[in-house]
Amino acid sequence: MSSSRKKPPATTWSDLSMTRAHPPESAESSNPSSPTQRFSRTQSSLSNDERTPLLPSAGRSRIRVQDMNNASSNSNSNNPPSTKPHLSRHASHSGSLRSARHHSRAGSWSHRLVGALSKNDSMVESKSGLNADDRVWYDQFTSTDWVHDSIADAYRIKALRSRKDIRGRIKAAFDGTQGWILSALVGILTACMAYAVDVSEAPVFDWKDGYCMRGFFISERHCCPGGGPCEAWKSWSNYIQISHVPEYIVEFVIYVILVVAFSTLACLLTLTTKTVVPSTYHLSTLDENLAAESIKPGQQHDGTSSPNSNEVKSEPMIYYSAAGSGVAEVRVILSGFVLHGFLGVKTLVVKTAALILSVASGLSLGKEGPFVHIATCVGNIACRLFAKYDRNDAKRREALSAAAAAGVAVAFGAPISGVLFSLEEVAYFFPAKTLFRTFFCCITAALSLKFLNPYGTNKIVMFEVRYLSDWKFFELGLFIIIGMLGGACGAIFIKASRSWAISFRKIPIIKRWPLVEVMLVALLTGLVGYWNPYTKLSVAKLLFNLASPCDMPKADAMDLCPGTIDEIFPVVKSLTIAFFIKGILTIITFGIKLPAGIYVPSMVVGGLLGRLVGHLMQWVVLRFPDSALFGDCAAHESGASCITPGVYALIAAGSTMCGVTRLSITLAVILFELTGSLDFILPFSLAILVSKWTADFMEPLSIYDLLTNMNSYPFLSNKHKPIFTSNLEDIVPRVRRERVIDISNSPLVTASSLRAKLEVVLRAGEVDGGLPIIRDEILVGLIPAPDLEFALDNLDDEPGTLCLMAKVLSLDDSDDEAETDPTDFTPHIDPAPLALDINSPMDLVYECFVKLGLRYVCVTREGRFAGLTHKKTFVKYIRELEEKEGHIRH
């Protein structure tokens, strides 16, 4: 591995003079358009900070191409030269394939407090307020430069610690506590958001059945604390009476109308977050649309169309940031993908309000997954209050990892599970410091939620069950079988959801009007779910009843505890019907344009299956009480068998969720925190292990992996490393003249030629790509595409401007720090891009992309430039390799 090992000496003033005398031959090397132009050079000594070039030279040179007349007028004038040149405030160059988004990160803490709540989240944002030395902020749909952000933070810390005065020490101490303050703030705000959703959706959900006379916003559980109907709770048939129409028909019609109404309102709110993505970005879906077609660009690795292929214009992709759970997108964002607006204030407000209505509608969806997205939005907004996290995307993603964990902590009331969820599912870079702060954030969120007490039980878990009897050894085989069934159900759910989306959502009216699908699904849910006592309940309440043991001191309103052997099969029949109804409704509900999670609905489907198996096992034990296999199980002191169907339901719930999401350790700890029983840790863990093995065998991808692979954004999984037998040479495209900047003849390049090269890179879909700079076939630097576009946009007269692409020696000792030259592009150039030899093994390339977070790797052959490989190209190569070997099946 080398980093531009051979570097020619810096260009001197005599070199530039010779260049002017002998025009260059290369197309990209520039030739001054008029002999009346001259060069003026200034030098400045800047202190090191986060905006200082990574490898500063002895002197920072600026070359300005001026008109002679203007220069003469300036020399004859008594007025001092302008200290700050005019920077272009216009949008990106007309015809550009993407819109620019550059942030102003200046201002005090109070200004950032206001800006955090009012910052524009549109895809196009003004560049005003940027200084010339400010680094270009990450554009939409680009990747974070982890190496640069790490080095920039090191410069910031070094400058901060270099101050030895009292104020400097106080600032350094405050800087060290910002991470803890931010974690506590995110935990508290996340708990408040969860509290708002929990206390709001409960009464709205009960409105479908009636209302409380003591208060319209009081849920049935608080209106009738004893459980069951009471005098204070009135059904709608008591208020609306139609002659010759039975009361239950009136209640049924009102129930269906409200289900459709709540779903429609939630969908209308969700549709306000519509975002149109140009086809240039090669994206398929960002809101869990399994019907979207996987993007396979008809372009070569270098981004230029094949001469024998016809260019097909694909349609822009439309997504809704408030739809779905957002877990897959959060995971990709934490891996370094930049997705402006997805974690903004508008998304937070709309998703929270729509989530209340969607959960209250009674559809087969959950709020736990969207809690992860909501918490990450809270974390992203809170990061704007601290410049340390606001100006550094890598540091910001550390805070977002903690925020995502807090979302799971408040969703399940399980702070330890939240930490494991962030580590296992969403976090991409998770150092030990981040782990401890994530734990602190989850504990803060859990304590805040307990103080708020949303359930009125002084508990933070959504439900709590306690099993008094221990499991028997002969049940281990059943637990393994349940694990296999749960994993199979999860894999089947993924395949069925994909098939349903491809078939039904391809209908033109459904594809064009998402609201129609939501209304149809809501209508079907209301018509079918009303008549079954299990499917009519909310998913959280149903899961609690399925997992509850029969020896709990509560009224059994659902007839789930048969007293004799003859009462078992009627319960099994009801559970079987509910299992198929709930399973089908969950399949057709996933992916509709509503805030919807899949965690608890998948657990409910598994819980129905597990409870069914538990009752069947209970019948077998009671039917053969003298069997040596069962021992004294049938002669239990309660008069029934030792089988606890609720245990089977909870084990199957975790197994099914594992089959859908492929979470393992997190799920085992969630089940432990819900039960608080150490006795059942082994059955939970064993069933989840078997479930994951079974699901991986049937469907290698989880539901979120499938959504991630459908896009072409550069998400490189760090969990599964392919087996490579090739070298870097296999994926390196041939060097094209329009993809490099050659300064062999002159360090000055026309802005028009740079713009043309930039358009080639953008047409290839490499929005965050770069242009290598070579001199005599030696790599001497690289300028990223976003930085190049920013620099070009700041030029006053782009067509006739010459741009400096290499440092030159200064001949004067002037020290004018305030003066900047927009034609000097050297501050935007990386003078030491990471380079690998073309014969490097592919395993080394994988480690560089995964562990260093690189966006591209330069390639050399015997020290000379041989090409550039983008991360997207490497990800595409890995997917093609896995598909060829059969590791990915759709």
Q: Which pLDDT value is given to residue 288?
A: 55
Task: Tell me the CATH number for domain 144-207+321-457.
Answer: 1.10.3080.10
Lowest mean pLDDT among 39-43, 218-222, 365-369: 39-43
Residue 133, pLDDT > 80, answer no
Q: Choose among 626, 521, 534: nearest CA to 573.
A: 534
Asked if 128 contacts 89 with a C-beta cutoff of 8 angstroms, the reply is yes
Q: How confident is the model at residue 65 (pLDDT cuts 50, 70, 90)?
A: very low
Q: What is the pLDDT of residue 636?
A: 54
| Confidence bin at 678 (pLDDT 50/70/90) | confident
Give SS3 for 262: helix
User: Residue 509 is inside which H or E element, if any?
Assistant: helix 508-512
Nearest to 388 by CA among 377, 399, 378: 399
% of the chain with per-residue pLDDT over 70: 76
What is the enclosing helix (H) or strand (E) of 194?
helix 166-206
Q: Is 13 exposed, middle or buried (0-12, 13-18, 19+ CB in 10 A)?
A: middle
Residue 106, SS3 per DSSP: coil
pLDDT of residue 647: 92
Quick one: pLDDT at residue 79?
43
Residue 507 has pLDDT above 50, yes or no: yes
Question: Regarding predicted confidence, which is higher, 309 or 188?
Answer: 188
What number is the average pLDDT over the span 166-183?
92
pLDDT at 72: 39
Chain region(s) in the chain for CATH 3.10.580.10? 13-96+721-884
Residue 722, pLDDT score: 83
Q: What is the largest CA-CA distance in the chain?
A: 114
Every domain range in the chain assigned CATH 1.10.3080.10 = 144-207+321-457, 475-709
DSSP string, 301-322: TTSPBPTTS----PPPEEEETT
Q: Which residue has the higher pLDDT, 593 or 146?
A: 593
CATH number of 475-709: 1.10.3080.10
Give residue 90's pLDDT. 33
User: What is the percent of the chain with per-residue pLDDT over 90, rounded to a whole number?
Assistant: 38
Choose the weakest-confidence range: 1-15, 403-417, 766-780. Answer: 1-15
Q: Please report the pLDDT score of residue 712 as a whole number.
A: 54
Res 496 pLDDT > 90: yes
Q: How far apart are CA 105 and CA 102, in angstroms?
A: 9
pLDDT at 522: 96
pLDDT at residue 346, rounded to an integer = 94
Higher pLDDT, 246 or 338: 246
Does the pLDDT of residue 200 top 80, yes or no?
A: yes
Task: Answer whether residue 52 shows pLDDT above 80.
Answer: no
Third-level CATH fold of 13-96+721-884? CBS-domain (3.10.580)
Strands 317-320, 233-235: parallel, antiparallel or unpaired by DSSP? unpaired
Query: Which pLDDT value is given to residue 787?
Result: 86
Identify the top-confidence range among 81-95, 417-431, 596-610: 596-610
Can you read off the two tokens belonging to residue 202?
């409960």
Please state the pTM of the whole predicted model: 0.80
Report pLDDT digits (tens) over 649-674. Answer: 999 999 999 999 999 999 999 988 88
Q: Which helix (H) or strand (E) covers residue 579, if one does?
A: helix 568-589
For the segment 741-757, the average pLDDT, to the nearest whole number, is 92
Strand partners, 772: 782
Low-confidence winner among 600-604, 805-809, 834-838 (lowest mean pLDDT): 805-809
- Phi/psi of residue 730, nearest 5 degrees: -70, -20
For the segment 700-710, what is each residue's pLDDT rounded down to a tens digit? Answer: 888 888 887 76
pLDDT band of 240, cuts 50, 70, 90? confident
378-405 mean pLDDT: 92
Q: Which residue has the tokens 């214009």?
A: 313
Per-residue model confidence as pLDDT tens digits over 778-789: 999 999 888 898
Other beta carbons within 10 Å of 631: 14
So what's the pLDDT on residue 309? Answer: 41
Indicate whether 122 pLDDT > 80.
no
pLDDT of residue 394: 87
What is the average pLDDT across 247-251?
A: 90
Structure token pair of residue 291: 């019907």
Q: Is the pLDDT of residue 816 over 60?
A: no
- Check residue 293 and give its pLDDT: 55
* Bridging pattern class, strands 748-750 and 802-804: antiparallel
3-state secondary structure of 412: helix
* pLDDT in the model for residue 356: 96
User: 562: pLDDT confidence band, cut at 50, 70 and 90?
Assistant: confident
Confidence of residue 96 (pLDDT cuts 50, 70, 90): very low
- Listing from the earlier edge strand, what are the strands of the sheet with 856-861? 835-837, 856-861, 864-870
